Structure 1
Amino acid sequence: MSVIEKSAVAAPAQDDGLLRAASSPLLGGALALVAIAQQLIGHIDCDVSWFLTFAEKVLDGRTAYVEVSDPNPPAAFLSLMPAVLLARALHLRAEAVVVALVFFAAVASIGLSFHLLRLSAARSLREWMPLGNAAIFLLLVAPEIVFAEREHIALLALLPLLATLAAEEGARPSPCFARIAAGVCGGVAVTLKPHFALAVILPALAIAWRARSLRALWRVELVSAALASIALTGATLLAFPAYLSQALPLALEVYGPARDDLGHFLTHSLALAYLALMAGFLVAARGALGRAPLVALAASLGFFVAFLLQGKGWMNHAYPAMILLLFAWIFFALREAAPATGAKSALMKFLFLPALLAAPAYFGIVEQLTDREEHEGLLAAVAEVAPPHPRIATIASQLDFGHPLTRRLDGEWVGRQNALWTTALVGRLLETARPPRREALEARRSADLAALAQDIRAGRPDVVVAEDRATREWVLKRPETAAALDGYRLAKRAGDVEIWRRAE
């Protein structure tokens, strides 16, 4: 019996009620229904809302990274372009179409991954069901408000490639076309963020180390992934050259270096939870890893390094690393017919199982199930003072003041950026910057503020949402934006947030 066969789907030696329940197709169906219900109850996150707006503006003729811009590469909004096109063709809301397409993508990803794994370990469908139900739970239920984020889409795209890498050498080979398709999907994942290449590189190196040969890297799926990522990235950059000339320099100069303080990062992100789960896994495994858990573990580490490199601490950045680490635990837990004993049993019962069941809590289950607003009362306050389908701009450091607010009101976003994120991040970077660097940063901040003032003058929004009084007063004291709210009056407040209405 191959290692992948043991590590992925070994049948239990005794009648285990928990495993029988985990193997039930009814559980998989119930989990799928829960996932659908969650998305019907809640709403998509501000990032997804913004990239939908970005895609719509590009389709409407705006020049990407000039008239509408973002520090992320073109694949970020292009990944949602099919949903926008389909929504317009069917006269549906783009949000609903995004969710539906991601569900279809998840089904395709899980299906192809399982097909590739089962070819290398032929066992009954029932013996595969615990892993299948876990995949439905982790990929459709657990994402919560991270659903349809780039990290979620990237993980779904990458899974078939990881499945091909997890197949044991000497097992029945997968069809070449399936391996090429898996590689291309992996290449698509890398185009979303270059950091995601680590989630391909580390598992590839892990299997080469396991084989004690670099020839193990010469696999059709890895070559396909490399070629696809290069071709797709090159094509998108040729199609949107302003990214290289406008957005990328700003991202490298401001967005990238503005990392969270280490202490705050560790205490306000999933980093410590991840490290605890990783430490427990290494203690339980004691170096005895089958190929499947090794690949999942290495890919998880790749995403975790990407999480650290980005340095923002956001839950969507942590999602792929946490999910793949849980998959590594699942492969390991199903590895042997004999029940676990001693420290291994304790770690599985008191670390892995609670971590697995709590996965939805990591990614905003409360916010999703309560349909909680990004800023409580803001939606109703803006709706009360704004005309139907309002044109909206913000004076705010974070994009969640304008998105998805604008879309939920069926309004129109005014502004080339999603927020004054450049201004906010420059303020943090100036605290430690030296004189030459300070001048460059000040120029970036001045340009950001000037762009906001120009957007408000040209776009004439019906409503301007100010993050709070202090932010609004600071912005209006700057020469670039001193007259930004001329002709506007304070119409309402929602907590600290101010809503300014254009005078008739």
Structure 2
Amino acid sequence: MTALAGPHGMVFARRVGLPIAWREFAILAAVFVIQIPLVLNSDLGWLLTVCEKMLAGGRLGIDAIELNPPLSVLMYMPAAYLGSVLPVPAHVFVVAMVLVLAWCSTRLTLAALHPILADDTARRCATQVILTALALVPGATFAQREHVAVLGLVPLVAFAASFAMGDTQTRALSLRILVGLCAGFAMCIKPHFALPAALSLLWAAYRQRSIKLLFDITCWVAGAMVVGYYVAALIAYPAYFSVYPRWAALTYLPVRKPLSFLLFGPDVLCALAGLLWMLHITCGRERTRWGDGAPWLLAALGGFLSYVIQGKGFGYMRLPAATFALLGPLLTPAFLTGRLPPADQRKVLLAGLALVIWLVPSPNSFIVLQEPIRAAAPAHPRILMVSDNVGLGEPLVRKLNGEWASAAGSQLLSGGAEMQLERGGLSATDHQLAEEIITMERTRLREDLKRRRPDVLLIDSKRFGWPFDWNAWARADPAIAHELDNNYRFLTRRKGVAIWVRQGRVGASRS
């Protein structure tokens, strides 16, 4: 709690002789230790697998298939490379890399806020608040694409907040270019992240009745980086603009949570209540200063709109909204300068927990499959699955120190295509595309079974959370049915997943 305990907590830290640089190091070291056993999740695990396939000579989109834009994969390539040449797992380098980015983002944010930080006390408090929000608060969403995007966007929102509070002087050119590069990188990860940036900048321009900030070199650099990235991606990976959008539009994008859940779910209302309580405590005594936190709150609104637009309801997609909402009250003058009584500071932090809880994802229950697989499969097993859920195979395959025996992470496209065919109402073109997708993924499964000869086959019993017979789906291809009947035996069923092992490949697996 010292890291977010405000000026009073820093007084204690000074008494024990802990300078600010060491407090930053303590936060980063604590997060490193916490995240090493936790950071691996289904998305990160799969993206690292794609990187490793590319490092082994595979081609993105052919030997390693990922529907998200290329940067989603390439941003983890340095960690995957280090993991391939050094005797340290790649996810350890991911943690280290993201912590370095969090520290750099904190430094840039402080530089952007420097003119409006009243004194050394405010600057020290802001340092701890920002670093804790960027490194510790993400928790189980640590190192996700949304986390990296937040690290890039926070300096820009700080820039807008400083401008909105009256600091309209031209900053150092190097600072403005760096802030623009960071924001541009964030928007390259997902175009949705333009919303937090745009709303915060527009508010700053409105409050100062000046469009100077909108045409600053910061915005030009960010825009140029986004345009340059998409031009390069179009040249290097044209399928991401011609083929994949059609697949996703038909099979993935229509699978959404109800709008009522996204807007009024219990976790959303809990987070909103926590935010309003924080604002009431930090700004309630200075009603005229509520606008100081507006750029952060509008960035949070942009993050929330991004979450709603994507429509999946995943915990990691809430991170931008939660982080900006948390920073809004905590970076107000009342909190940073110590004008709040200690009791009110504790209330602010308690209310902030509601925002943090909003980020907590559902645990990956498929890790329990490790035990029967270790007992029945050989060491370093080749694993394949039949499911729309990439979380069934990742990070399980990494926990088993195994190998993923396919170019794709799941049969997600087939799951969506089957659902669309069941709903009906498709045009002739879309109906044909859905059938082509199903045929394509069955063909890939058949080839994977014959050529890659996986040791373990996992067959799910749900599709997008609802009962579905993936076993029957696979056996609709006679060659797959023949392969299963002659070369695999059923082992057991855990968490609704049937585990099949290759006959003649039985032995104790080693980590």
2:321 paired residue number: 321
Mapped contact 1:166–1:291 kept (Cα < 8 A): no
Note closer, same or farther for the CA distance 1:146–1:84 as it changes in structure 2 (3 Å cut).
same
Question: 1:76 Cα deviation (Å)?
Answer: 0.3
2:83 paired residue number: 87
Mapped contact 1:195–1:306 kept (Cα < 8 A): yes
Q: Distance in 1 between matches of 2:370 and 2:249?
A: 34
Q: Distance in 1 between matches of 2:398 and 2:301?
A: 36
Mapped contact 2:146–2:319 kept (Cα < 8 A): yes
Equivalences for residues 284-433 of structure 1 within 5 A:
288-289=288-289, 293-332=293-332, 334=334, 352-357=348-353, 359-364=355-360, 374-430=365-421, 432-433=423-424
The aligned amino acid for 2:459 is: A
2:508 paired residue number: none
Indicate which of 461, 473, 477 corresponds to 2:471.
Answer: 473
Question: 1:388 Cα deviation (Å)?
Answer: 1.4
Mapped contact 1:391–1:412 kept (Cα < 8 A): yes
Question: 1:43 Cα deviation (Å)?
Answer: 4.0
Q: Distance in 2 between matches of 1:276 and 1:22?
A: 31
Mapped contact 2:48–2:80 kept (Cα < 8 A): yes
Note closer, same or farther for the CA distance 1:43–1:216 as it changes in structure 2 (3 Å cut).
closer
Indicate which of 102, 119, 122 corresponds to 1:106.
Answer: 102
The aligned amino acid for 1:489 is: R
Question: 1:496 Cα deviation (Å)?
Answer: 2.7
Q: Distance in 2 between matches of 1:22 and 1:243?
A: 51
Question: 1:364 Cα deviation (Å)?
Answer: 3.8
Q: Distance in 2 between matches of 1:401 and 1:366?
A: 13
Mapped contact 1:65–1:247 kept (Cα < 8 A): no
Indicate which of 426, 437, 450 corresponds to 1:444.
Answer: 437
Indicate which of 107, 118, 123 corresponds to 1:128.
Answer: 123
Question: 1:90 Cα deviation (Å)?
Answer: 3.0
Q: Distance in 2 between matches of 1:153 and 1:223?
A: 21
Question: 1:229 Cα deviation (Å)?
Answer: 1.2
Query: Which moves more between the two structures, 132-141 or 207-216?
Result: 207-216
Question: 1:413 Cα deviation (Å)?
Answer: 0.8
Mapped contact 1:164–1:221 kept (Cα < 8 A): no
Note closer, same or farther for the CA distance 1:127–1:211 as it changes in structure 2 (3 Å cut).
closer
1:4 paired residue number: none
Mapped contact 2:491–2:501 kept (Cα < 8 A): yes
1:32 paired residue number: 28
Q: Say whether residues 1:453 and 2:456 are aligned partners.
A: no
1:180 paired residue number: 177
Aligned length: 479
The aligned amino acid for 1:300 is: A
Indicate which of 174, 199, 203 corresponds to 1:202.
Answer: 199
Higher relative contact order (CA 8 A, sep 6+): 1
Q: Distance in 2 between matches of 1:249 and 1:219?
A: 37
SS in 2 for 1:88: helix
Q: Distance in 1 between matches of 2:92 and 2:10?
A: 35
The aligned amino acid for 1:415 is: S
Task: Give ranges in structure 1 of 5+ residues lacking alignment.
Answer: 1-11, 368-372
Q: Distance in 1 between matches of 2:388 and 2:404?
A: 16
2:134 paired residue number: 139
SS in 2 for 1:418: coil
Indicate which of 249, 269, 273 corresponds to 1:272.
Answer: 269
Note closer, same or farther for the CA distance 1:414–1:459 as it changes in structure 2 (3 Å cut).
same
Query: Which moves more between the two structures, 60-69 or 305-314?
Result: 60-69
The aligned amino acid for 1:417 is: A
The aligned amino acid for 1:90 is: L
SS in 1 for 2:243: helix
The aligned amino acid for 1:222 is: C
Q: Distance in 2 between matches of 1:321 and 1:182?
A: 20
Question: 1:20 Cα deviation (Å)?
Answer: 4.3
Note closer, same or farther for the CA distance 1:170–1:149 as it changes in structure 2 (3 Å cut).
closer
1:464 paired residue number: 457
Residue identity (%): 27
Note closer, same or farther for the CA distance 1:264–1:159 as it changes in structure 2 (3 Å cut).
closer
Query: Which moves more between the two structures, 175-184 or 455-464?
Result: 455-464
SS in 2 for 1:258: coil
CA deviations over 1:19-66 (Å, ceiling 9, x no partner): 745998476555434312211342411101100111111222222112
2:246 paired residue number: 249
Q: Distance in 2 between matches of 1:332 and 1:484?
A: 64
SS in 2 for 1:465: strand
Q: Distance in 2 between matches of 1:363 and 1:379?
A: 26
The aligned amino acid for 2:454 is: P
The aligned amino acid for 2:161 is: A
Question: 1:112 Cα deviation (Å)?
Answer: 1.8
Note closer, same or farther for the CA distance 1:154–1:483 as it changes in structure 2 (3 Å cut).
farther
1:7 paired residue number: none
The aligned amino acid for 1:108 is: C
Question: 1:483 Cα deviation (Å)?
Answer: 4.2
Q: What TM-score comes out, normalization by structure 2 length?
A: 0.84
Task: Give ranges in structure 2 of 5+ residues lacking alignment.
Answer: 1-5, 463-467, 505-511
Q: Distance in 1 between matches of 2:13 and 2:333?
A: 13
Q: CA RMSD in A?
A: 3.1
SS in 2 for 1:71: coil
Question: 1:163 Cα deviation (Å)?
Answer: 2.3
SS in 2 for 1:485: helix
